């Protein structure tokens, strides 16, 4: 393992850290939309917001698919992505998308738009059982979609900053938090009061935000104490380089601090919108920066130890 | 069945990158695409400064992460240990590229084949006869010149290296050149802590 | 039945392999070229049957295909229609037929020939085709306007001619155990057959444990691979060498037997610097046994009795053995004194000298091919960086002296002369001279014009009787023709296979004025270059995969002809260089004279049946055929099949071919030639004779400082330039494969300074600077490296192109050579060697100057590589 401090060398022929540029902005967009959509769906589901569920499914099904296809080298063949669920998180994710989207749409249509009633199954045990199953599948796979992106990013040991168990946790916490924020904006009446075991949506959002902050802090700390490549990537976020302003300004201030402050204040339409803008900006920037600051380690060093 | 690997002799390598150009020739690589690179590492403080030249290429890992993460099964390992890409199956998702700790994968973007080696969209006859092997959008990498190896030849980079710094052969044969070098001069693989079990070794 | 899938790797596709010779630099590594059944060249490899490069090729050789298929290649003759000329001016080329092209060129050349043949200024430097290079001799013209070979070899070649009667030198990689490189990359990156020598040297290092030491201001490839890098202040290598000699002389570490027996070191030198001779012209030595002066060939005086030191009286004159004269000089060159000049610690100099002498195993012998030869496996090699200075002759002599001390000249393991082109196998380069010494042969590239005033050459070659060519003096004369008494002004340029606008030293702007003063410029080339921009007519030639040649170019350890044969039919409407020159000669009425020039230059008089006959034009194939027959009596078909006739160097020609004769330890010519030249100048009333640097002529190297060290102190850094294997000895930056690796290489992408120097100058890595020398200015971006002497600014040649009409050549901040002095004061009066180091000062800028902001800069390419943005451009 390299213990010297190597420079970041881009694509030059010097030995050093090389930027990850294979998963570019399209991929970041796809991941963001996938996580966000599933998170919106889950939050909307918990607070009974139909519009939220619909928006969530659409974001995942349409936007994520679009961005994946625009990143994919051979989009005509993208159906092959589902072929290796035994090994590949991409395959697992692709399959999960299918199940999530299908079940979510079914649930919305059957349970929320009244198709079950129209089919005359609303009161039957079969109808209730079907609805329960569909809703279970939708929720479970929504959670899988929320979390699998993080697993995919963290899967290999190649990019040290990504190689942490906290990555899927951050995916989940960020997407759930954003989902709550989107839902409370789309549907101001949803979650105004407690629903079932869920507290009022603003409280839930605050709790989710705190968890997100903790996970993020833990991830940064793990990077700080981790492999040299992780520390190097962290430096690009915190210390110097073209991404520092975006990290502090958008991810931290707009995406975490501003919502935190506003969630404490009495809620209003304006503050909700501000929270939404800040959160989406912060989350999108975070997802993009994770891709941009990913570094490959220097392959092998022969400098004499001294 | 052989188990092919390579040894880089760091004492010999002069960093000329003839290997890089030979590989580009042999494989009709588009502009800016490298299946192998020879890096340089500067160290020390004047006047005790030094520089080492370090050849790199796909390590054809025994435990290849690129193969594990490939969702379509395009990346596979031959019986003789060469890790290959079946570009008829590749969807160009680049998961292999972010999974490779050594960054030895290249995505062959469509624009590369349109721009040409000289830019300006002027595609030379050499490129025309060569580019037909590629599917734009797929990800590719060094394959130890598998076709040449199947014909009993060494990889192009090995053949051209002016200082014989690249040594290719069967790692399972104790009398092969790479096996002997690894034994006699203590070959070590790059980043063993990544647990991919590379079949490329470095000797000093 | 299984179908055979078509191969995708180029070397395996259906086609055939043709043996040929590389042309990506001036040397001649053997190649095999694969051409598909469809006629596309898709792989070039080294020829494994050629014992020179053993199947290896450097990156340039590997990139030959991209020269051949370069879409910017000139596809037919072109005529300029825009009379305005300049580096960024569109010539508005009009394609014309060969007939019309020949008509125009012949007409314009004829005007000059009829008026005054001296008005033609050629730049036809073609090492692989001396028959083309020497075309101007067909009309008695010895002007020259190209600088390939003068910055690196202006003094190097004449000195090799004096000491070895050879063109170049190399350390003997077959036996050497202690290999010193001073200002050269032999065996690692540069000079003689780079890929081949790298192979020999790598084996020597790894299999035999050969130790390498590199002296140079920069951590070059050679320095990086060596066991020891000795950083040195630029333009002080001669002083380091004299310091080494001091140690060996004062500590008695020399091969005294060699000095006594095989050199003129014991010859007695009189007060005027010439040898002491008797009435018959025979030279005296001092016999220590009889304590009397004897003639050098006195059979009763054993070699071991000859004095090397002392002061004696002979025929009323005080005299000393030449060795004593040398000792008088180096006694004062203590390592401590030399350290003040070189910054090399005195202790290092002492240690290296002792290690070197010990490794030389003085007294040891080895049996090779039935001869018992001295074995001296320690050698001091040097080339451009070390030798390219104002006092070039003395500098090269000092390096020779390090080798003389241990007796390794042309000896197994030592510093061996390398001939350029032996022409026929049994040709022995050694010619006996007077008084038992070998005949000095400084004019390795052909005879020089005799003294004449007014001069018959525009670059004053008439006053460099020992020299090579000082082409930079064309500019000196252009600026002040009256001063030099030049009574003609060249106004027609014939340029072929060279790019003087990229290579010459002195500010580009002044050379542009020089070009504008020409009435007619014809350029023969393959791709657009800095020089083709100025042509009135361009005649496109075949490239090296479309033409014939037979050549042997200074291979260090092998000898023999290498065939270049066409692999495909010419892609475009081009002609071979031979066709062009002979057609023009015919139209100019000088064909017979040209054929005779080819005969002489190629050595065909040795086998008269090969002589070119008058009245006929000969093709490149016919000349190649003759050169092959001349070498080993084998016909062209044999060469077509075998590709080459290369064998290891014959040991009787390579090791001590002068056995029984004496080498020029002391170069008496350096006393007699200037005396003679001065007298002639006096008699002819040459107006600049008192400004001539007569002190440059020295029979032994001295510790005089090169004038570059005396520039005003505001110029506080030494500017040096360098290349390395991707870009040396040829143009390769127009090649996309070379561009891919060069602009990603840390040494080729910035003006390099030691980090402490950077700090002292108040600069940071990435700052834009203006670099000023007393002569010119360039711009660039600085970077730091610990591998740089604190006094030096390192400028890679990769940063010296001017934007021309070629897609891949990007403008950098100006050509380093703009900074170099080109005046007589910085030229070696002995050889014409120009100074290749300059003093510079840096000024930080906030931004690039306006002209550089337009268009693509090299630094833009570098930045793009440092920060890849797109998938696939990784």
Q: Domain range holding B66?
A: 4-203
Which residue among A75, A88, A301 sits closest to B41, beta carbon to beta carbon?
A301
Does the CB of C744 have a partner CB in chain A at under 8 Å?
yes
The CATH number of the domain holding residue B113 is 3.30.70.20
User: Quick one: pLDDT at residue C872?
Assistant: 40
Q: Once rounded to an integer, what is the mean pLDDT over residues C341-355?
A: 98
User: Quick one: pLDDT at residue C4?
Assistant: 56
Q: Residue A283 to residues A216, A259, C27, C366: CA-CA distances in angstroms? A: 11, 12, 60, 77
**Which of B17, B18, B72 to mutate against chain A (most A CBs within 10 Å)?**
B72
β C777-784/C768-772 pair status: antiparallel
Q: Residue C406 to residues C29, C124, C383: CA-CA distances in angstroms? A: 32, 40, 20
Does the CB of B121 have a partner CB in chain C at under 8 Å?
no
C-beta of residue A33 within 8 angstroms of C-beta of residue A41: no
DSSP, res C704: P
Reply yes or no on whether the pLDDT at C381 is more than 50.
yes
Q: Who's near C571: CB < 8 A, 6+ residues apart?
A: C68, C69, C73, C75, C546
User: Quick one: pLDDT at residue C142?
Assistant: 94
Q: Domain range holding A209?
A: 22-296
User: Quick one: pLDDT at residue C2?
Assistant: 42
User: Quick one: pLDDT at residue C1?
Assistant: 42
| Residue position matching structure tokens 């869920």 | A198
Instruction: Quickly state the pLDDT bin for C871 (edges 50, 70, 90).
Output: very low
Does the CB of C872 have a partner CB in chain B at under 8 Å?
yes
In C785-846, DSSP assigns E strands to: 792-796, 838-845
Residue C705, SS3 per DSSP: coil
Does the CB of C206 have a partner CB in chain A at under 8 Å?
no
- Chain B neighbors of A22, CB-CB under 8 A: 94, 97-98, 105, 107, 139
Q: Where is C524: in which H helix or E strand?
A: strand C520-525
Residue C147, SS3 per DSSP: coil
Our CA-based measurement puts residue C503 at a distance from the nearest CA of chain B, in whole angstroms, of 23
Does the CB of C635 have a partner CB in chain A at under 8 Å?
no
Does the CB of B188 have a partner CB in chain C at under 8 Å?
no
User: Quick one: pLDDT at residue C730?
Assistant: 85
Residue C184's nearest CA partner among C224, C241, C222 is C222
Which residue among A80, A87, A298 sits closest to B69, beta carbon to beta carbon?
A87
Instruction: Quickly state the pLDDT bin for C868 (edges 50, 70, 90).
Output: low
Q: Cβ contact (<8 Å) for C868 and A19?
A: yes
Q: Once rounded to an integer, what is the mean pLDDT over residues C616-638?
A: 98
User: Quick one: pLDDT at residue C818?
Assistant: 95
Our CA-based measurement puts residue A300 at a distance from the nearest CA of chain C, in whole angstroms, of 18
User: Quick one: pLDDT at residue A115?
Assistant: 82
Which residue among A12, A21, A24 sits closest to C866, beta carbon to beta carbon?
A12
Q: Who's near A125: CB < 8 A, 6+ residues apart?
A: none
Residue C73, SS3 per DSSP: coil
Spatial separation of the C-alpha atoms in residues C397 and C242, rounded to whole Å: 10
How many domains does one find in chain A? 1
User: Quick one: pLDDT at residue C869?
Assistant: 53
Higher pLDDT, C371 or A114: C371
Spatial separation of the C-alpha atoms in residues C807 and C848, rounded to whole Å: 22
User: Quick one: pLDDT at residue C141?
Assistant: 94
pLDDT tens figures, C697-755: 999 999 999 999 999 999 999 999 999 999 998 889 999 999 999 999 999 999 999 99
Instruction: Quickly state the pLDDT bin for A192 (edges 50, 70, 90).
Output: confident
Does the CB of C861 have a partner CB in chain B at under 8 Å?
no
Per the domain annotation, does A7 fall within a domain? no
β B200-203/C751-753 pair status: unpaired
- DSSP letter for each residue of C380-434: EEE-HHHH-STTHHHHHHHHHHHHHHHT-TTSTTSEEEE-S--SSTT-----B-G
Instruction: Quickly state the pLDDT bin for A114 (edges 50, 70, 90).
Output: confident
Q: Where is C447: in which H helix or E strand?
A: none
Our CA-based measurement puts residue A6 at a distance from the nearest CA of chain B, in whole angstroms, of 9
User: Quick one: pLDDT at residue B53?
Assistant: 98
Please, which chains are in contact with B (at least 3 CB pairs closer than 8 A)? A, C
Reply yes or no on whether the pLDDT at C260 is more than 80.
yes
- Chain B neighbors of A299, CB-CB under 8 A: 39, 54, 56, 102, 190-191
The tokens describing C681, both together, are 């100048």
- Chain A neighbors of B203, CB-CB under 8 A: none
Which residue among C40, C788, C874 sits closest to B106, beta carbon to beta carbon?
C874
The tokens describing B162, both together, are 């002016």
pLDDT tens figures, B109-166: 999 999 999 988 899 999 999 999 999 999 999 999 999 999 999 999 999 999 999 9
C-beta of residue A296 within 8 angstroms of C-beta of residue A261: no
Does the CB of B185 have a partner CB in chain A at under 8 Å?
no
Which residue among C56, C206, C219 sits closest to B49, beta carbon to beta carbon?
C219
User: Quick one: pLDDT at residue C102?
Assistant: 98
| Residue position matching structure tokens 């008058």 | C614
C-beta of residue C835 within 8 angstroms of C-beta of residue C706: yes
Please, which chains are in contact with A (at least 3 CB pairs closer than 8 A)? B, C
Residue B41's nearest CA partner among A158, C781, A12 is A12
ipTM of the complex: 0.97
pLDDT tens figures, B165-201: 999 999 999 999 999 999 999 999 999 999 999 999 9
Does the CB of B162 have a partner CB in chain C at under 8 Å?
yes
Residue C467's nearest CA partner among C186, C670, C720, C237 is C670
Per the domain annotation, does A15 fall within a domain? no
pLDDT tens figures, C387-413: 999 999 999 999 999 999 999 999 999
Average model confidence (pLDDT) across chain C: 95
How deeply is C856 buried, as exposed, middle or buried, from its count of CB atoms within 10 A (0-12, 13-18, 19+)? middle
Does the CB of B159 have a partner CB in chain C at under 8 Å?
yes
Between chain B and chain C, how many beta carbons pairs sit less than 8 Å apart? 206
User: Quick one: pLDDT at residue C58?
Assistant: 97
Does the CB of B129 have a partner CB in chain A at under 8 Å?
no
The CATH number of the domain holding residue A268 is 1.20.1630.10
Instruction: Quickly state the pLDDT bin for A1 (edges 50, 70, 90).
Output: very low
- Chain B neighbors of C737, CB-CB under 8 A: 21, 24-25, 117
The tokens describing C309, both together, are 């030191």
Q: pTM here?
A: 0.95
Instruction: Quickly state the pLDDT bin for C874 (edges 50, 70, 90).
Output: very low
The tokens describing B117, both together, are 């080696």
How many domains does one find in chain B? 1
Q: Once rounded to an integer, what is the mean pLDDT over residues C161-174?
A: 97
Q: Once rounded to an integer, what is the mean pLDDT over residues A225-247?
A: 93
Q: Once rounded to an integer, what is the mean pLDDT over residues C414-434?
A: 96
Reply yes or no on whether the pLDDT at A176 is more than 80.
yes
Q: Cβ contact (<8 Å) for C56 and B14?
A: no
User: Quick one: pLDDT at residue A120?
Assistant: 81
C-beta of residue C131 within 8 angstroms of C-beta of residue C108: no
Percent of the residues in chain C that have a pLDDT greater than 70, as a whole number: 98
Higher pLDDT, C384 or A264: C384
Which residue among B32, B135, B191 sits closest to A297, beta carbon to beta carbon?
B191
- Residue in chain C lying closest to A27 (CA): C871
User: Quick one: pLDDT at residue C482?
Assistant: 93
Per the domain annotation, does A145 fall within a domain? yes
Reply yes or no on whether the pLDDT at C3 is more than 70.
no
> How far separated are the first and last CA of chain A, in Å rounded?
16
Instruction: Quickly state the pLDDT bin for A306 (edges 50, 70, 90).
Output: low
Q: Where is A32: in which H helix or E strand?
A: helix A25-46
User: Quick one: pLDDT at residue A122?
Assistant: 77
- Chain A neighbors of B201, CB-CB under 8 A: none
Reply yes or no on whether the pLDDT at C521 is more than 70.
yes
Q: Cβ contact (<8 Å) for C808 and B119?
A: yes
């Amino acid at each position: 393992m390299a213990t010297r401090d190597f420079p970041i060398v881009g694509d030059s022929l010097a030995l050093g850290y090389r930027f990850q540029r294979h998963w570019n902005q399209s991929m970041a967009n796809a991941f963001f939309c996938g996580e966000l959509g599933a998170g919106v769906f889950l939050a909307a589901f918990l607070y009974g917001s139909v519009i939220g569920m619909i928006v969530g499914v659409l974001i995942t099904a349409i936007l994520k698919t679009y961005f994946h296809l625009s990143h994919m080298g051979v989009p005509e063949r993208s159906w092959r992505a589902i072929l290796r669920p035994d090994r590949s998180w991409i395959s697992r994710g692709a399959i999960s998308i299918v199940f999530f989207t299908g079940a979510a749409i079914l649930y919305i249509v059957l349970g929320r738009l009244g198709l079950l009633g129209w089919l005359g199954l609303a009161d039957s045990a079969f109808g209730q059982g079907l609805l329960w199953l569909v809703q279970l599948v939708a929720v479970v796979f929504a959670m899988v979609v929320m979390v699998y992106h993080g697993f995919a990013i963290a899967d290999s040991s190649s990019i040290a900053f990504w190689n942490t168990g906290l990555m899927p946790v951050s995916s989940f916490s960020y997407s759930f938090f954003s989902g709550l924020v989107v839902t409370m904006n789309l549907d101001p009446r949803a979650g105004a009061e407690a629903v079932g075991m869920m507290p009022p949506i603003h409280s839930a959002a605050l709790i989710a935000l705190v968890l997100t902050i903790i996970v993020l802090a833990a991830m940064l700390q793990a990077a700080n104490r981790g492999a040299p490549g992780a520390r190097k990537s962290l430096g690009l976020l915190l210390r110097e380089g073209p991404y520092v302003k975006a990290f502090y300004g958008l991810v931290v201030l707009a995406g975490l601090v501003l919502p935190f402050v506003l969630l404490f204040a009495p809620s209003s339409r304006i503050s909700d919108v501000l929270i939404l803008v800040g959160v989406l900006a912060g989350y999108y920037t975070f997802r993009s920066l994770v891709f941009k600051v990913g570094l490959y380690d220097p392959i092998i060093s022969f400098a004499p130890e001294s | 069945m052989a188990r092919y690997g390579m040894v880089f002799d760091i004492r010999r390598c002069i960093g000329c990158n003839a290997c890089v150009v030979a590989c580009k020739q042999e494989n009709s690589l588009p502009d800016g695409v490298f299946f192998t690179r020879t890096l340089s590492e500067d160290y020390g403080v004047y006047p005790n400064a030094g520089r080492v030249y370090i050849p790199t290429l796909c390590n054809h890992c025994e435990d290849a992460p690129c193969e594990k993460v490939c969702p379509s099964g395009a990346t596979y390992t031959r019986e003789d240990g060469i890790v290959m890409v079946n570009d008829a199956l590749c969807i160009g998702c680049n998961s292999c590229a972010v999974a490779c700790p050594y960054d030895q994968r290249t995505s062959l973007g469509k624009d590369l084949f349109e721009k040409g080696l000289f830019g300006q969209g002027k595609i030379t006859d050499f490129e025309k006869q060569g580019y037909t092997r590629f599917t734009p959008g797929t990800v590719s990498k060094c394959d130890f010149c598998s076709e040449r190896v199947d014909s009993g030849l060494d990889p192009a980079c090995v053949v051209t290296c002016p200082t014989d710094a690249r040594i290719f052969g069967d790692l399972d044969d104790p009398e092969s050149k790479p096996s002997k070098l690894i034994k006699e001069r203590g070959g070590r693989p790059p980043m063993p802590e990544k647990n991919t079990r590379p079949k490329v070794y470095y000797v000093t | 039945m299984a179908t055979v899938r078509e191969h995708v790797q180029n070397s395996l596709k259906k086609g055939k392999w043709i043996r040929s010779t590389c042309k990506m630099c001036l040397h001649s590594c053997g190649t095999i070229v694969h051409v598909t059944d469809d006629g596309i060249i898709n792989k070039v490899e080294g020829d494994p049957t050629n014992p020179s490069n053993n199947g290896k090729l450097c990156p340039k050789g590997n990139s030959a295909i991209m020269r051949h298929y370069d879409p910017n290649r000139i596809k037919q003759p072109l005529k300029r229609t825009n009379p305005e000329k300049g580096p960024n001016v569109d010539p508005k080329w009009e394609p014309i037929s060969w007939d019309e092209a020949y008509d125009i060129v012949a007409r314009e050349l004829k005007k000059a020939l009829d008026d005054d043949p001296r008005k033609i200024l050629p730049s036809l430097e073609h090492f692989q085709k001396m028959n083309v290079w020497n075309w101007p001799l067909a009309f008695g013209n010895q002007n020259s306007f190209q600088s390939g070979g003068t910055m690196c070899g202006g003094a190097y070649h004449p000195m090799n001619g004096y000491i070895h009667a050879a063109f170049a030198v190399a350390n003997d990689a077959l036996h050497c155990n202690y290999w010193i490189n001073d200002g050269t990359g032999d065996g690692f990156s540069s000079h003689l057959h780079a890929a081949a020598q790298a192979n020999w040297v790598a084996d020597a290092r790894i299999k035999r444990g050969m130790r390498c030491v590199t002296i140079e201001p920069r951590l070059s490839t050679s320095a990086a691979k060596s066991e020891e890098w000795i950083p040195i202040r630029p333009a002080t290598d001669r002083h380091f060498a004299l310091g080494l000699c001091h140690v060996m002389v004062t500590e008695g570490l020399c091969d005294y037997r060699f000095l006594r027996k095989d050199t003129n070191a014991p010859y007695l030198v009189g007060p005027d610097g010439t040898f002491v001779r008797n009435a018959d012209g025979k030279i005296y030595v001092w016999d220590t046994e009889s304590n009397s002066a004897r003639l050098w060939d006195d059979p009763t005086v054993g070699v071991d009795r000859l004095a090397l030191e002392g002061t004696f009286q002979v025929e009323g004159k005080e005299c000393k053995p030449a060795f004593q004269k040398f000792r008088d000089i180096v006694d004062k060159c203590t390592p401590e004194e030399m350290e003040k000049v070189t910054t090399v610690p005195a202790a290092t100099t002492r240690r290296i000298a002792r290690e070197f002498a010990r490794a030389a195993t003085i007294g040891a012998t080895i049996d090779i091919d039935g001869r018992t030869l001295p074995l001296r496996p320690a050698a001091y090699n040097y080339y451009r960086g070390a030798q390219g200075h104002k006092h070039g002759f003395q500098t090269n002599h000092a390096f020779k002296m390090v080798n003389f001390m241990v007796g390794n000249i042309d000896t197994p393991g030592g510093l061996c002369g390398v001939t350029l082109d032996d022409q026929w196998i049994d040709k022995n380069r050694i010619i006996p001279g007077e008084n038992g010494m070998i005949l000095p042969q400084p004019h390795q590239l052909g005879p020089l014009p005799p003294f004449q005033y007014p001069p018959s050459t525009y670059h004053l070659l008439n006053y460099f009787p020992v020299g090579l060519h000082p082409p930079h003096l064309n500019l000196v004369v252009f600026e002040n023709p009256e001063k030099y008494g030049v009574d003609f002004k060249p106004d027609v340029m014939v340029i072929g296979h060279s790019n003087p606008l990229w290579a010459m030293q002195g500010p580009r702007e002044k050379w542009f004025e020089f070009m504008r003063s020409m009435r007619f410029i014809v350029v023969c080339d393959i791709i657009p270059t800095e020089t083709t921009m100025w042509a009135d007519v361009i005649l496109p030639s075949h490239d090296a995969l479309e033409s014939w040649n037979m050549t042997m170019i200074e291979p260090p350890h092998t000898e023999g002809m290498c065939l270049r044969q066409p692999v495909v039919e010419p892609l475009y409407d081009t002609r071979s260089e031979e066709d062009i020159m002979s057609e023009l000669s015919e139209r100019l009425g000088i064909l017979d004279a040209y054929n005779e020039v080819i005969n002489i230059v190629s050595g065909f008089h040795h086998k008269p049946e090969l002589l070119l006959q008058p009245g006929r034009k000969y093709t490149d194939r016919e000349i190649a055929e003759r050169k092959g027959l001349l070498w080993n009596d084998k016909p062209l078909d044999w060469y077509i099949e075998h590709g080459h006739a290369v064998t290891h160097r014959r040991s009787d020609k390579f090791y001590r071919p002068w056995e029984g004769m004496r080498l020029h330890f002391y170069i008496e010519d350096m006393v007699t030639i200037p005396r003679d030249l001065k007298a002639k100048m006096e008699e002819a009333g040459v107006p600049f004779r008192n400004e001539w640097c007569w002190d440059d002529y020295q029979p032994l190297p001295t510790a005089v400082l090169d004038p570059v060290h005396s520039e005003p102190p505001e110029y506080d850094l030494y500017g040096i330039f360098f290349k390395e294997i991707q870009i040396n000895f040829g143009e390769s930056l127009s090649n996309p494969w070379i561009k891919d690796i060069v602009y990603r290489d840390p040494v080729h992408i910035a003006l390099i300074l030691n980090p402490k120097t950077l700090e002292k100058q108040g600069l940071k890595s990435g700052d834009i600077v203006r670099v000023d020398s007393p002569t010119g200015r360039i711009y660039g971006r600085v970077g730091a490296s610990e591998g740089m002497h604190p006094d030096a600014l390192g400028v890679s040649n990769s940063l010296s192109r001017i934007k021309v009409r070629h897609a891949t050549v990007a403008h950098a901040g100006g050509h380093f050579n703009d900074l170099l002095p080109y005046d007589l004061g910085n030229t070696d009066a002995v050889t014409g060697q120009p100074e290749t180091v300059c003093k510079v000062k840096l000024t930080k800028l906030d931004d690039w100057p306006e002209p550089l902001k337009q268009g693509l800069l090299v630094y833009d390419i570098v930045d793009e590589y440092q920060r890849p943005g797109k998938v696939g451009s990784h």
